[in-house]
């Protein structure tokens, strides 16, 4: 009885157009747009030489050697213009160059805007300055080792610079939009959750009334519906993740398994939220769908899908980030993919599970009513 029911619920689910629209086509389309909007720019900037100006107010042969090394080869990292500050500033204003390296007592960098290119240049400059300071310290404390240190500095070659680029890539702010996109797909499972409640209540649908007359216990029906819908929505979410990773080529993290696990738990959380929404009140399915969609979008907005608002919320109302399902799902991605913090990841997975159970129990409590005032 249970598995036959699950089989037909799965068939129904995969033949419902809304599912494909919201859980497959929508993330595919939006992911593609994100790719064009963000990664297109990123790739262009990373894999073509970045035009910079070097204004030398003092001599720094080591820095010049590194700069020269990075502007050589088949795929140079930098396109260097040696010029004066006035000319460099004009070029920066006209966006002919992306940054100005001022070589004086130390190395300083001026960039025009906050972009992926500027992040990479800043990262490069910071690393160089840090290495140079280290050598200076060695020279002061252990003059005998200064030569080997200089060699180290001279070894600041293209490979090291590309390592810097990779490091910058790990903190790529655009990847967070893809994490948010996956999160949105997870929360859109809430619409399927609404359907579970609606199709099992006599006062909300004809099918619900018909099912209530059968010999299959209500709780069994709801659990079978939930199980089938969980499988279906999770499959859709995992397809979306795979599409983003393998078709769009977005680097979601070194280890994809925890990303998939987060997605599974996230989908369950979305489904549970939808089930609870579907169980509340006597509104029509379309109104409840609207509420579920609205809740999902608000949660995603607060977790930074549209604009990067999460930091501001963390500063002024951190509790929102703690309880926002979208933030919890996104944080779990960051915990493993960026911070490599598996204890935090485990805590967030546990949090998702507890929240899911709470919403499921709430939903069951609300639909537990045996008879209806009117149908």
Partner 1 sequence: MAEIVVRIHDLVKRYKDIVAVDHLDLDIKEGEIFGLLGPNGSGKTTTIHCLLSLLSYESGDITIFGKPMTPTSYDIKKDIGVVMQNVAVFDQLTVYENIDFFCSMYVKDKKKRVELVKEAIEFTGLEDFTDFYPKKLSGGLLRRLNIACGIAHKPRLIFFDEPTVAVDPQSRNKILEGIIELNKNGSTIIYTSHYMEEVEQICTRIAILDGGRKIAEGTKEELKQIVKVTETIEIETAAIENSVLCEIRGAEHILSAEYSDHTLTVCCSGGSHNLMSVLEILKNRNVMIGQVYSKLPTLNDVFLEVTGKELRDREG
Give the footprint of partner 1 on this chain (CB under 8 A): 1, 4-5, 8, 11-13, 15-16, 202, 205-207, 209-218, 221, 370-375
**Residue 173 burial (CB count, 10 A):** 14
Residue 2 or 246: which CB sits closer to partner 1? 2
Minimal distance, residue 336 CB to partner 1, in Å: 37
**Distance of alpha carbon 234 from alpha carbon 225, whole angstroms:** 14
Shortest distance, CB of residue 122 to partner 1, whole angstroms? 54
Locus of tokens 């997975």: 349
What is the dihedral sign for C-alpha 9, 14, 20, 24? positive
Residue 102's Cβ-count burial label (10 Å; 0-12, 13-18, 19+) is middle
Instruction: Return the number of the residue (7 or 72) whose C-beta is nearest partner 1.
Output: 7
Are 229 and 20 in contact by the 8 Å Cβ rule? The answer is no
* Structural contact between residues 232 and 267, judged by C-beta atoms closer than 8 angstroms: no
Q: How far apart are CA 301 and CA 53, in angstroms?
A: 39
Structure tokens at 69: 């090394």
Which CB atom, from 14 or from 82, has the smaller least distance to partner 1? 14
> Which of 11/145 has CB closer to partner 1?
11
Min separation Cβ 275 and partner 1, Å: 19
Q: Which residue has the tokens 């020279």?
A: 139
- Closest approach of Cβ 360 to partner 1, in Å? 21
Least distance CB 215 / partner 1 (angstroms): 4
9 vs 69, which CB is nearer to partner 1? 9
């Amino acid at each position: 009885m249970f598995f036959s029911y699950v089989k037909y619920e799965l068939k129904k689910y995969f033949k419902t157009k809304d599912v494909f629209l919201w859980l497959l086509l929508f993330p595919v389309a939006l992911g593609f747009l994100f790719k064009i909007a963000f990664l297109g720019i990123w790739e262009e900037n990373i894999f073509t030489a970045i035009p910079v100006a070097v204004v030398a107010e003092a001599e720094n042969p080591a820095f010049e050697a590194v700069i020269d090394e990075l502007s050589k080869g088949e795929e140079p990292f930098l396109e260097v213009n040696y010029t004066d500050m006035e000319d460099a500033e004009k070029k920066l204003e006209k966006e002919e160059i992306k940054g100005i390296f001022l070589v004086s007592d130390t190395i300083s960098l001026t960039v025009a805007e906050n972009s992926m290119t500027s992040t990479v240049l800043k990262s490069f400059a910071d690393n160089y300055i840090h290495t140079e300071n280290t050598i200076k310290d060695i020279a002061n404390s252990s003059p005998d080792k200064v030569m080997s240190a200089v060699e180290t500095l001279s070894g600041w070659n293209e490979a090291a610079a590309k390592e810097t680029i990779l490091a910058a890539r790990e903190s790529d702010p655009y990847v967070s939009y893809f994490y948010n996109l996956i999160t949105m797909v997870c929360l859109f499972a809430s619409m399927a959750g609404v359907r579970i409640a609606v199709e099992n209540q006599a006062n909300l649908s004809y099918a619900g009334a018909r099912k209530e007359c059968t010999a299959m216990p209500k709780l069994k029906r709801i659990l079978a519906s939930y199980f089938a819908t969980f499988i279906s929505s999770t499959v859709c979410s995992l397809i979306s993740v795979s599409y983003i990773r393998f078709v769009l080529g977005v680097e979601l993290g070194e280890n994809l398994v925890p990303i998939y696990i987060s997605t599974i738990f996230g989908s369950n959380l979305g489904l549970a939220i939808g089930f609870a929404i579907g169980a509340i009140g006597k509104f029509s399915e379309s109104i409840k769908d609207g509420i579920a969609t609205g809740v999902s979008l608000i949660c995603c907005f607060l977790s930074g899908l549209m604009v990067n608002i999460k930091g501001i919320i963390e500063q002024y109302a951190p509790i929102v980030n703690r309880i926002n399902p979208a933030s919890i799902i996104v944080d779990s991605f960051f915990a493993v993919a960026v911070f490599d913090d598996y204890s935090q990841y485990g805590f967030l997975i546990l949090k998702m599970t507890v929240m899911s159970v709470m919403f499921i129990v709430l939903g069951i409590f609300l639909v537990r009513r045996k008879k209806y005032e009117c149908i």
